[in-house]
Amino acid sequence: MASDFENPMYWRKRFRSETAFEWLTPSSTFIDLLAPYLDRLDPQASEILHLGSGTSDLHNHLRRSGFLNVTNIDYEPLALERGQQLERKAFGDVKTRYRVADVTKLEPPAEPKCRLVVDKSTADAVSCGGDEAVAAMAERIHGCLDKKSGVWISMSYSDSRFGVGRVRELFHVGVVSTVPIPKRLESDPDIAHWCYELSPKEA
């Protein structure tokens, strides 16, 4: 990834013209991977944190699945404006929440703690700021999650996104699935995106 991806100014400039874009995988694919985790939640009660929402329509897929208690978080206000536009276009109104915040500085919510945190390529963008930035993101997410039943699901292009020592201290890291990238030529190498499950260890 270009090292600019950890820089808010890069995203601000990009979102001036970008109104809808999906990183790595369409949300229709990601929502299928999330289905077993959504099945465990009460759609009315459980808050879902969608980190680095960008101009993705993942929140619309969550809403279609009955989840309105979704908080879309991005540090670039224009991304949240785009998210609201996408939601209004799909449903005629805006019911999910939008919050400007840096995921490396997230404040833990008041009880009850969150049971599902999702990100699609946001940890990848954060990783351009180095291992400390990924560790800070992991620490903040750990603080937000219910330690018994909470989980962070992260889609990444990297097969070693969560090798960082501090992340391993805080989370049990597993791979939910790999999503192969379609080849243009038969001779192209096998490349996949990685969907991780991170379950918080007790602090």
Shortest CA distance to 126 belongs to which of 136, 118, 117? 136
Smallest separation (angstroms) from ligand SAM to the CB of 148: 27
Whole-angstrom distance, CA of residue 83 vs CA of residue 168: 32
- d(Cα 80, Cα 190) in Å, to the nearest integer? 34
Least gap, CB of 81 to ligand SAM (angstroms): 12
Instruction: Please identify, using beta-carbon distances, which residue of 44 and 160 lies nearer to ligand SAM.
Output: 160
| Longest alpha-carbon distance in the chain | 52
Closer CB to ligand SAM, 23 or 171, in the complex: 23
DSSP 114: B
Binding site for ligand SAM (CB under 6 A): 6, 11, 21-23, 52-54, 56, 74-76, 79, 102-104, 120-122, 124-126
Identity of the residue, 41 or 80, whose beta carbon is nearer to ligand SAM in the bound complex: 80
Helix axes 8-17, 77-91, angle to 10 degrees: 40
Contacts of 167 (CB under 8 A, 6+ apart): 134, 135, 138, 173, 198
Shortest distance in whole angstroms from residue 75 CB to ligand SAM = 4
Report the nearest approach of ligand SAM to the CB of residue 186 (Å): 28
Q: Of 19 and 112, which CB lies nearer to ligand SAM in the complex structure?
A: 19
Torsion of CA 91, 97, 98, 102, to 10 degrees: -140
Comparison of 124 and 197: residue with beta carbon closer to ligand SAM: 124
CB of 14 to ligand SAM, least distance (A): 8
Cα 100 from Cα 74, distance rounded (Å): 5
